[in-house]
Structure 1
Amino acid sequence: MSRQTTRRIVALVLGALLTATAPDLSFAQDPFTEFFGGLFGEGHQHRGGGARREQRVRRIMPHRENRGPTYWHSQSEKSRRAAKRSSESTTTDQSQAAATTEPTFFVATVGDTLGLLLANGLKDGFSDRPDVAILKQGKESSGLVRDDFYDWPKAAKEIAGGAQKINVAVVMLGSNDRQAIQQGGETVEPLSPRWRELYAARVDAVIDAFREKNIPVIWVGLPVMKNERLSADMAQLNEIFKERAAQANIPYVDLWEAMTDEHGQYSAFGPDINGQIVKLRSADGVHFTEAGARSVAHFVEGEIKKYYDAYRQQAPVADAPAAPAPAAGGAAPSEQPVAAAPADGQPIIFRSPVAGPSAAPTLPERPAIGPTQQLTGASGTATELARRSVAGKQPASGTPEQALVRHVFIEGGDQNPRNNRADDYSWRPPANAASQPR
């Protein structure tokens, strides 16, 4: 046998021995798992790499069916989960009930783009009252000047006399009315005396269109604007609105101060209904953001709720027991008068959206002059408060004490200071004395 053949035989034998005794690939990749698995009865037989990797994944990320039981949860945790399920069920029931409730009180919001934004804010404000419906009857880019584009006095009559029931009308107009009025062949300059007269007549026409149908009207003023010139003109329009509203005896909601900062100037930011400082005005300095429309609607809701409460008191309550018939010749027992509608033209008191003012405490009534009581009484009585000493003597008028009293309290003089008394200033250096170097 040659040396080369011997070497080939030895190589073949060594290769066979190494193949028989070498561990599998999984052991080479994870020797620690193989070792500890063998100690606890796992992995004592060689397995494929894929099976071992699947076993490792199950140990690290257990499947759902291998998760521990949930009976260890505390009673409070179980109560919290039960309350959450009950709350979700209640919310669903309320939503379904609100969806099935038909509105019975209708608010028509008429006006330009600002009036449409106000209607959006009112819808959000009355979202918790499904019986209140907000009707958007506005027209973008409209006003009282350009009747050739949109005739609001005519439109108001159509809205008031239409088939749709309306309980309250909210009007917000004027942001586009800084224009000349064309009266026949005459052109009237904006905000001139003749212009004011014609404009006030058109405001009255819109108000009268609703009042002829016994529909209450709430007029909302214009807010401050970013442009100073535009803001000054809007202020003059508000004067006309306020004057005509007072003449018609209807509520007028002033938004000027509500949309300004602490200095009375325009501010794009301000508090929302929750007291958080947010952006209330859009970039053009005229229109409202969504939060701004909600804040403006907050000031109008108070006037609407007055008519809403009066309507609820007058409207019959569903499933209410019938009142007993009155006796012959007598009035019905426990008859209560129906509350009247709120008086129009009453002053509007604005409340903060964060927190309302608290009532001041009241004090019991006290007489201006109380009972008199004698300060001196007979000796030995129980009512004696003080008694003049007979042994005491008044100082004579010429004594030093009496002279000091007259000098200090009558003549207004000063008393000479005494040593070690509070008025002794002898320890102070003279005012004109030179300061000593330190």
Structure 2
Amino acid sequence: MHEATIGPYIPFMSAERTRKSFSPRRALAAFLLVMAALVMSAPESFAQDPFSDFFGGLFGGGGGGGQRSAPSRPPSQPRVRRMMPHQENRAPTYWRGGEARAPRRAAKRTEGSAATPGAEQTTTAPAVPPSYFVAVMGDTLGILLSNGLQEAFSDKPDIAVLRKGKESSGLVRDDFYDWPKAARELAGGSQKIDVAVMMIGSNDRQTLRQGADALDPLSPKWREIYAARVDAIVAAFKEKKIPVVWVGLPVMKNESYSADMAKLNEIFRDRASANGAVFVDLWEALADERGQYSAFGPDINGQIVKLRSGDGVHFTEAGARSVAHFVASEVKKLYDARKPAEPAPASGQPTATAPAGQDGQPASQTAGHGAPNGAPVVFRSPVAAPVSPAPTLPDRPAIGPTQPLNAVPATAGGELARRTQAAPAADAGAQALTRHVFVEGGDQAPRPNRADDYSWKP
């Protein structure tokens, strides 16, 4: 370091004065003042690590003449601060709703698709475009159901699930989202729909406003208007020949809330039956053996897992997959019913296989398309061949031989029964001993050399 660099910052003092006025505190203050001046006047690269550069130049590290040498490493780049994403509006962990979520069976790049130059590239077969579209509508439960159906049909690329749910929607607040209107737009839109699935109602236990009237939940007038809106949704798809699968609500954790959801299921079941829609009942499927709420239950593999979330209303990922299992079975029935039937063979024309030749080929090919004498080969139906009769059992007479009831052989004396001799009477002493031991509970006198003989032997 040059004297001109540090000279202006150190006051001139004589040796005698310096010796008398030296103190560690003043030396430390002077050192810090020098370092601060160097940091402020040094370039940016030197300011990144002033201590190592200063001491390296002072003691000749990396450069000669006491001057600061050029740094051996490139100047450090400014550190980029990584901000965590804003999670205030993040959906719950059990939620994977919204239109932005891509289906799981989206095409993925293979390992060879992004390989380095010169590496062998692997080609995958083109994905089968979907030809059968299932539109899943509803509230939050409907969105979770669409997640489960996407996993249920992941092995069927020709079936696509259209996520048409609306969070926090229902059939009561048509000012928030008008589902009958949305159903008409979906049914008459350009997007092909083969099956419409609806699961809604978890937000509908509230007052319904009809003009200036405010109807209490589940009142008679409330039920009438609510049922009419269900009919309007089903009719929108029925007009376009699109079958509808209406999914009922499951049992809930809150007993009062669960009782109201059961009443909504009655409306859904009644209107689905009246309009020719399929109703899927989930009440017993997600309840315990007593018909009450249970957060745990068997999944599609039979393992007991948690099916419901902590709020007692929504599904977990495994629960959504279990619910989708019941709905997917109804969708597959409609899917299989739309497949064209295979043409059946014409009746009266039995198919026969030509007899094989010596080399395993049909006789018509081994003999030059005909018999050895040039005559065409005639195929005879095995049905018309004579069949040997099956062995039969000999005929058994309907009535067996008769025997008279009075033809009982009599004894020599003509008696029907003969009196047997009485057993000889037991010894009186044995009878007395038996009564003494088994009736009166007395002891029997021991006999010599018997098990109950406890006498002392010499």
Does 2:216 match 1:195? no
Cα distance in 1 for residues equivalent to 2:293 and 2:412: 75
In structure 2, relative to structure 1, the CA distance for the partners of 1:115 and 1:397 (3 Å cut) is: farther
Q: Is the contact between residue 157 and residue 210 of structure 1 (CA under 8 Å) also seen in structure 2?
A: yes
Q: Is the contact between residue 410 and residue 416 of structure 2 (CA under 8 Å) also seen in structure 1?
A: no
Identify which of 400, 406, 410 aligns with 1:375: 400
Q: Percent identity?
A: 60
Secondary structure at 1:259's aligned position in 2?
A: coil
Cα distance in 1 for residues equivalent to 2:208 and 2:411: 94
Q: Is the contact between residue 121 and residue 295 of structure 1 (CA under 8 Å) also seen in structure 2?
A: yes
Does 2:231 match 1:214? no
Give the deviation of 1:375 after TM superposition. 3.0
Q: After superposition, what is the alpha-carbon deviation per residue over 1:160-184, rounded to whole angstroms, capped at 9, x for unaligned?
A: 1111000000011101000110000
Q: After superposition, what is the alpha-carbon deviation per residue over 1:22-47, rounded to whole angstroms, capped at 9, x for unaligned?
A: xxxxxxxxxxxxxxxxxxxxxxxxxx
Secondary structure at 2:162's aligned position in 1?
A: strand
Where does structure 2 lack aligned partners over 5 or more consecutive residues? 1-110, 113-122, 348-394, 420-424, 426-433, 444-458
In structure 2, relative to structure 1, the CA distance for the partners of 1:387 and 1:255 (3 Å cut) is: same
> Which of these two proteins has the greater Rg computed from alpha carbons?
2
Cα distance in 1 for residues equivalent to 2:197 and 2:218: 24
Cα distance in 2 for residues equivalent to 1:395 and 1:286: 93
What's the TM-score once normalised by structure 2's chain length? 0.52
In structure 2, relative to structure 1, the CA distance for the partners of 1:372 and 1:306 (3 Å cut) is: farther
Matches within 5 A, 1:232-247: 232-247=259-274
What's the TM-score once normalised by structure 1's chain length? 0.54
In structure 2, relative to structure 1, the CA distance for the partners of 1:390 and 1:114 (3 Å cut) is: same
Where does structure 1 lack aligned partners over 5 or more consecutive residues? 1-87, 90-94, 318-322, 324-331, 336-369, 378-385, 403-418, 420-427
Cα distance in 2 for residues equivalent to 1:149 and 1:395: 110
Counterpart of 2:409?
392
Counterpart of 1:149?
176
Identify which of 176, 181, 188 aligns with 2:208: 181
Cα distance in 2 for residues equivalent to 1:163 and 1:141: 26
Identify which of 253, 257, 263 aligns with 2:290: 263
Secondary structure at 1:239's aligned position in 2?
A: helix
In structure 2, relative to structure 1, the CA distance for the partners of 1:435 and 1:183 (3 Å cut) is: farther
Cα distance in 1 for residues equivalent to 2:265 and 2:217: 14
Q: Is the contact between residue 175 and residue 222 of structure 1 (CA under 8 Å) also seen in structure 2?
A: yes
Matches within 5 A, 1:11-410: 96-97=124-125, 100-313=127-340, 334=346, 373-376=398-401, 392-393=409-410
Give the deviation of 1:306 after TM superposition. 1.2
In structure 2, relative to structure 1, the CA distance for the partners of 1:397 and 1:390 (3 Å cut) is: closer
Secondary structure at 1:236's aligned position in 2?
A: helix
Secondary structure at 1:182's aligned position in 2?
A: strand
Secondary structure at 1:298's aligned position in 2?
A: helix
In structure 2, relative to structure 1, the CA distance for the partners of 1:387 and 1:162 (3 Å cut) is: same
In structure 2, relative to structure 1, the CA distance for the partners of 1:373 and 1:131 (3 Å cut) is: same
One-letter code aligned to 1:376: P
Give the deviation of 1:263 after TM superposition. 1.3
In structure 2, relative to structure 1, the CA distance for the partners of 1:173 and 1:400 (3 Å cut) is: same
Give the deviation of 1:203 after TM superposition. 0.5
Q: After superposition, what is the alpha-carbon deviation per residue over 1:304-326, rounded to whole angstroms, capped at 9, x for unaligned?
A: 01111122226xx9xxxxx9xxx
Cα distance in 2 for residues equivalent to 1:435 and 1:144: 88
Cα distance in 2 for residues equivalent to 1:180 and 1:130: 43
RMSD (CA atoms): 4.1
Q: Is the contact between residue 376 and residue 387 of structure 1 (CA under 8 Å) also seen in structure 2?
A: no
Answer 1 or 2: which has greater helix percent.
Answer: 1
In structure 2, relative to structure 1, the CA distance for the partners of 1:391 and 1:219 (3 Å cut) is: closer
In structure 2, relative to structure 1, the CA distance for the partners of 1:211 and 1:399 (3 Å cut) is: same
One-letter code aligned to 1:111: G
Count of aligned pairs: 268
Secondary structure at 1:218's aligned position in 2?
A: strand
One-letter code aligned to 1:187: A
Cα distance in 2 for residues equivalent to 1:397 and 1:234: 88
Q: Is the contact between residue 121 and residue 290 of structure 1 (CA under 8 Å) also seen in structure 2?
A: yes
Q: Is the contact between residue 395 and residue 401 of structure 1 (CA under 8 Å) also seen in structure 2?
A: no
